[in-house]
Structure 1
């Protein structure tokens, strides 16, 4: 099945085509009507906006913003907003496509959506970021809503940004509207457990799967590419459980220690000062160089080196396309759990599969974030809030149930976990799409 992308950016068109190509194998294992296939080929709605912002020096800059709602058959669109220099319509559409299947896989009453603004947020002051965030909502307010399309944090956006966005939407609508945004500060209707949800969901998947592979805390080594919010929290959970985390990295480089790293110590050096995630990181200059994890005192390695380490478990938790046909043949890990979105290309998938390396896909492994976002949305609508323990229990139940179902499909059909995940999601999407009527319903 080929999905349609804007044609002005060949590199991102490749990303979108790569995303849709993952469905080809799954389509051999599902019964999907032509009507459903036709609807999934195109996004339901795409919006491009310009956002004029008065900068602190009095100048005016105009930023480009996007929001794509790929499918809302199963419920309102759901997806994050990222601030990054590489954001473009093609990338946002690809991510909305992935979100469609992620929400179906986790059986959440949402469709897939995504948004973003093209900029380097580190170049803006906090006041400028607030004006930009509120301007983005001014531009897309008629396109979103608690029953239409719900926003969430993503790359270089956080709870503070989500609070600004929710507040601006409420001002426009002249009523409190906490359900339009998830990932908000607790004081503004956020959910307990949301800040570690992606990591905890991944941990739930791993601790359900690894024992099936005879991988237990005492005999399992782990390398994590990406020491941001999700990667750092997941490293902490695994370290606390007794897994040997031997390597971590951030955008500037990484560290490796065969005996295992002191994750709490690294997080202490890496931790941001409160409210400064979008600005300069808080660092201890005598120990911590250039705001990276590369000078803690262990062996210094590059991001590329980390991917090739001889470990039991590799966790890409950074950006897209980190493992491609160019380096897939050098991967030595036995198992890969994708915490980032799209860290492995489809060509690399074929190579890894041929070498017997098991890959557990992003649409399952990193779905803890959108699952707790769903919990937050439910709490906002009900006006009743759960404890952190309740959120954790509900998340574990949901993640384990869908992991077990996907594993069962993979075993029954002798297919990869990625293909099984898409089969599971397509079955749910197809059922919802066909419930609106198919060609057969009109033939008499």
Structure 2
């Protein structure tokens, strides 16, 4: 019996089981590697604009602190529950280990429909969430970051709330802050840029001409929009994008800079063009060179995987591909090159790490330095994943996760079990 349940946690547990079997990890070690060190559930009461009080449920899961403080985003969404948050924390652990960051994974969230909150109510909820978390987080314990439904402004409120309780400014308690409040140049773009960088590298290795290549983006939030913009700058035609309001498709290529400006003004791609509207249910069936799922978990199941017509699957979202779909894609390795999520979208946590380091040192880098270092770490992890997959004759996901799990396991074993 466990407090963690639901399809997202079950998926993370199933993925770990595959890796544990592959690595022949003894059964008595597996729960210690999989189950989170700590989970916190809190109540977040806030005053509404009409004078009433509403209580929202919040969560924070810290998977392990073996290699350093935990690190992970905080999402505000109606779907948030403890199982989903735990799964995202587990994936973050493997991701940080894969790319060599001194972190364990964490994740947090509040179950809330943001469309029902005013800006003042959102600030109240953000500050209350951080206030309730103060006993459990800190720059060397757990460092928060943005995720779905949160942004630079929410991180600034988090940082300010924590700092007020400490009696001094503590910028290093969160990452993803505005640059004016201790954030780093390049953080906002980091995840999408990383997705595009790795996708470009794969296209080059497959000898696919960037000038004639096409891309499809599912999800047009922070990750999807910056991935689309970077791919557009590389010369690819982004022929389709989608978000929660619908989809757009233009075989000759969408005007991505104009679409980003529209989405920034209106909050979505809705209203950009009536002529280019497309069925979002069909976006995964489009023929393209690069497909970027950059929205929710579990959107590519076995049936969708069997019908994918992309050459490169660049997973910008966390957990977009189910284990059943992985079995299908393993049989299609010669047709679809999978860049697994824990590598593909790792640019965000890499640059968050840079922000944390800069805040601790109070020494800040130029954006070119941030981006150069991000790509250097991504390329190193990519080389390790591809080599492991080739030598062991396994899928890219198995190779990437095996590297991450091995590092966490080695850290736990060398430190021992206390007391």
Q: What band does the TM-score fall into relative to the shorter chain?
A: over 0.9
1:1-16 alignment, distance < 5 Å? 5-6=2-3, 13-16=6-9
| Alignment partner of 1:203 is 2:196 | yes
| Alignment partner of 1:392 is 2:371 | yes
Of 96-105 and 213-222, more deviation after overlay is shown by: 213-222
Q: Identify the residue that residue 289 of structure 2 maps to in structure 1.
A: 312
| Alignment partner of 1:93 is 2:86 | yes
Asked if structure 1 preserves the Cα contact closer than 8 Å seen for 2:95 and 2:343, the reply is: yes
Q: Identify the residue that residue 405 of structure 2 maps to in structure 1.
A: 426
Asked if structure 2 preserves the Cα contact closer than 8 Å seen for 1:44 and 1:71, the reply is: yes
Which residue, out of 310, 329, 332, partners 1:333? Answer: 310
Asked if structure 2 preserves the Cα contact closer than 8 Å seen for 1:183 and 1:373, the reply is: yes
RMSD: 1.9
SS at 1:312 equivalent: strand
Number of residue pairs aligned between Structure 1 and Structure 2:
417
1:185-334 alignment, distance < 5 Å? 185-272=178-265, 281=266, 291-293=268-270, 295-334=272-311
Structure-1 separation of matches of 2:2 and 2:102 = 26
Of 195-204 and 351-360, more deviation after overlay is shown by: 351-360
Alpha-carbon distance, 1:209 to partner: 2.0
TM-score when normalising by structure 1: 0.90
Structure 1: give runs of 5+ residues left out of the alignment: 273-280, 283-290
Q: Identify the residue that residue 166 of structure 1 maps to in structure 2.
A: 159
Q: Identify the residue that residue 112 of structure 1 maps to in structure 2.
A: 105
Of 187-196 and 327-336, more deviation after overlay is shown by: 327-336
Of 406-415 and 214-223, more deviation after overlay is shown by: 214-223
| Alignment partner of 1:403 is 2:382 | yes
Asked if structure 2 preserves the Cα contact closer than 8 Å seen for 1:75 and 1:110, the reply is: yes
Structure-2 separation of matches of 1:209 and 1:297 = 34
Structure-2 separation of matches of 1:384 and 1:295 = 42
Q: Identify the residue that residue 362 of structure 2 maps to in structure 1.
A: 383
Asked if structure 1 preserves the Cα contact closer than 8 Å seen for 2:73 and 2:107, the reply is: yes
Of 351-360 and 337-346, more deviation after overlay is shown by: 351-360
TM-score when normalising by structure 2: 0.95
Alpha-carbon distance, 1:235 to partner: 0.7
Structure-2 separation of matches of 1:297 and 1:215 = 32
Structure-1 separation of matches of 2:27 and 2:330 = 30
Structure-2 separation of matches of 1:168 and 1:183 = 15
Asked if structure 1 preserves the Cα contact closer than 8 Å seen for 2:74 and 2:144, the reply is: yes
Structure-2 separation of matches of 1:327 and 1:207 = 24
| Alignment partner of 1:26 is 2:19 | yes
Of 71-80 and 210-219, more deviation after overlay is shown by: 210-219
Structure-1 separation of matches of 2:131 and 2:413 = 36
Q: Identify the residue that residue 396 of structure 2 maps to in structure 1.
A: 417
Which residue, out of 361, 364, 373, partners 2:352? Answer: 373
Asked if structure 1 preserves the Cα contact closer than 8 Å seen for 2:228 and 2:256, the reply is: yes
Structure-2 separation of matches of 1:137 and 1:410 = 41
Asked if structure 2 preserves the Cα contact closer than 8 Å seen for 1:254 and 1:294, the reply is: no
Asked if structure 1 preserves the Cα contact closer than 8 Å seen for 2:199 and 2:290, the reply is: no
Deviations 1:259-302 (A, max 9, x none): 22221122222223xxxxxxxx36xxxxxxxx434642553212
SS at 1:217 equivalent: coil
Deviations 1:296-341 (A, max 9, x none): 2553212221111111221101111111134332222222110011
Alpha-carbon distance, 1:96 to partner: 0.6
Q: Identify the residue that residue 286 of structure 1 maps to in structure 2.
A: none
Structure-1 separation of matches of 2:282 and 2:327 = 21
Asked if structure 1 preserves the Cα contact closer than 8 Å seen for 2:33 and 2:409, the reply is: no
Deviations 1:195-219 (A, max 9, x none): 0010111122112222122223023
Q: Identify the residue that residue 56 of structure 1 maps to in structure 2.
A: 49
Q: Identify the residue that residue 137 of structure 2 maps to in structure 1.
A: 144
Alpha-carbon distance, 1:221 to partner: 1.4
Alpha-carbon distance, 1:15 to partner: 1.8
SS at 1:51 equivalent: strand
Structure-2 separation of matches of 1:53 and 1:61 = 6
Of 315-324 and 203-212, more deviation after overlay is shown by: 203-212
Asked if structure 1 preserves the Cα contact closer than 8 Å seen for 2:199 and 2:312, the reply is: no
Alpha-carbon distance, 1:354 to partner: 2.1
Structure-1 separation of matches of 2:177 and 2:308 = 38
Structure-2 separation of matches of 1:419 and 1:76 = 25
